[in-house]
Amino acid sequence: MRTWYFVLLLLVLPASRAVCQSLVNLPDDSTLKALMQKHKVPALGTGVIENNELKSTKVLGELKSGVPAPSNTIFQVASLTKPIVEMTTLRLVSKELWSLDEPLARYWIDPDVKNDPRNEHLTTRHVLAHQTGFVNWRWLHATGKLTFDFEPGTKTQYSGEGLEYLKHALETKFKMPLPEIVDKYLFKPDGMTDSHFFWDGSVSEDRYAVAHNKENQPYEVRKNKEASAADLLMTTISDYTKFGANILKKRELSDKIWQDMIRIQSKDQNASFGLGWAVYNDLKGEELALLHTGSDPGVRTAIVLLPKSKRGLVIFTNSDNGIPLIKDIIKSALNIGEELLERTK
Q: Where do the structural domains in the chain lie, given as residue ranges?
A: 25-343
Q: What per-residue confidence (pLDDT) applies to 27?
A: 97
Count Cβ neighbours within 10 Å for each residue of 232-268 and write b for 16 or more, e otherwise. bbbbbbbbbbbbbbbbbeebbbeeebbebbbeebbee
Q: Give 214's pLDDT tier (boundaries 50, 70, 90).
A: very high
Q: What per-residue confidence (pLDDT) applies to 18?
A: 46
Name, in order, each residue with C-beta under 8 angstroms of 85's C-beta and a sequence gap of 6 or more.
163, 166, 167, 178, 182, 229, 230
293-306 residue pLDDT tens? 999 999 999 999 99
Instruction: Tell whether the model's pLDDT for residue 7 goes beyond 70.
Output: no
Q: Give 21's pLDDT tier (boundaries 50, 70, 90).
A: low
Q: Which residues pair with 123 in a beta bridge?
A: 103
Q: Give 11's pLDDT tier (boundaries 50, 70, 90).
A: very low
Distance CA 24, CA 47 (A): 10
Mean pLDDT, all residues of the chain: 94
- pTM of this structure: 0.92
Q: What per-residue confidence (pLDDT) applies to 269?
A: 77
Q: What per-residue confidence (pLDDT) applies to 17?
A: 46
Q: What per-residue confidence (pLDDT) applies to 271?
A: 83
Tell me what the mean pLDDT of segment 282-311 comes to.
97
Q: What per-residue confidence (pLDDT) applies to 245?
A: 99
Q: What per-residue confidence (pLDDT) applies to 268?
A: 81
Instruction: Tell whether the model's pLDDT for residue 332 goes beyond 70.
Output: yes
Q: What per-residue confidence (pLDDT) applies to 181?
A: 99
Q: What per-residue confidence (pLDDT) applies to 22?
A: 66
Q: Count CB neighbours of 311 within 10 A.
A: 27
Instruction: Tell whether the model's pLDDT for residue 126 goes beyond 90.
Output: yes
Q: CA nearest 82: which of 209, 243, 212?
A: 243
Instruction: Tell whether the model's pLDDT for residue 270 goes beyond 80.
Output: no
* Contact of 27 with 35, CB cutoff 8 Å: yes
25-343 in CATH: which number? 3.40.710.10
Tell me what the mean pLDDT of segment 21-37 comes to.
93
Q: What per-residue confidence (pLDDT) applies to 201?
A: 87
Tell me what the mean pLDDT of segment 66-93 comes to.
99
Instruction: Tell whether the model's pLDDT for residue 307 goes beyond 50.
Output: yes
